[in-house]
Structure 1
Amino acid sequence: MDSQNNKSIIQFTNPELVESIFMENPNYKGSLDISQNMMISTNHSDIQIESKFNKSSIVSLTVSNFNQINMNSNKPFFIRQTMKAKFIWKKGLSTEEEEDLLKVNAASLLLSYIRPQIRSITSLSKFREQNIPFIDFTSQL
């Protein structure tokens, strides 16, 4: 397949790491072999007119196991990663199609950058490495 002639209607800038937190909870006394439930949230900026032919939006995705760091919680560690990128597409899509691109395609792409970071960071700790499963972002539509 020719990557130049088969480009998707949506393109993106190099994703940027915006936030990275890993902190062990010194008060945790439980098992080291525990899987953490990760929360995933996405945000995107207002859609902008990029040029005569294109529109764009900046999308960020955060994966975290906490809302607030509380050393008295039953969490073995606190982890949060946020990545962002600018997504650009050709004009002519409906508002619904644009929202779908941002909520599904952009989120999936950014998660593919965060997934190995979460695994790598947790594998370097004394706790069980955390593997984020595939996520169905279409359920948010």
Structure 2
Amino acid sequence: MKKSDFKFSNPILLKTNFLVNKEFKNNENVVIDNSFNVSINRDESSNIAIVELTIEVGREELKTDVPFYIELVIGSAFSWDDVFDENTLQTLLSQNAPALLLSYARPIIHSLTSMTPFPAYNVPFYNFTEK
């Protein structure tokens, strides 16, 4: 195995918003929606891009059918050597980078939700190759 030519710096937690629904009645069949937004800020003069992943868990309206709402933004600087063509680079920035950032956000979300009266929430795996 060889180290990748696509590198990243330590991810940084940029924002968290966490609301607990005090009106929520514990329900075994809770469906928690997740949504994602990927922001790529690429410096065209160098091989560096800042990628930010915004994750929303639940709904901010906190209707009685959701136990909480989380908005979390995590980002990192990604860099690469001149070995990638433009299509491969776009794939790395739009798919691989957010998947990596989600892996760093997952334990943060688990930790936040473990401090509620509800079971801790584990963000499922997502396929960033499909919109």
Change in 2 beyond 3 A, CA 1:90/1:20: same
Indicate whether 1:14 and 2:5 are aligned. no
Indicate whether 1:31 and 2:23 are aligned. no
Paired residue for 2:103, among 112, 123, 128?
112
Cα deviation, residue 115, structure 1? 0.6
Distance 1:32 1:22 in 2: 20
Change in 2 beyond 3 A, CA 1:71/1:24: same
**Structure 1 residue ranges without an equivalent (≥5):** none
Alignment deviations for residues 1-50 of structure 1 (CA, whole Å, 9 cap, x no partner): 6xxxx220100111000011211123x34325534121122111034333
Distance 2:125 2:98 in 1: 12
Aligned to 1:83: 74
Distance 2:62 2:17 in 1: 15
Indicate whether 1:121 and 2:117 are aligned. no
TM-score in terms of structure 1 length: 0.80
Alignment deviations for residues 52-105 of structure 1 (CA, whole Å, 9 cap, x no partner): xxx1110011211256x3355643211111110000011242221111001111
Distance 1:38 1:80 in 2: 10
Moved over 6 A (4+): none
From the CA coordinates, give the structure whose radius of gyration is larger.
Answer: 1
Distance 2:42 2:64 in 1: 36
Distance 1:71 1:104 in 2: 30
**Structure 2 residue ranges without an equivalent (≥5):** none
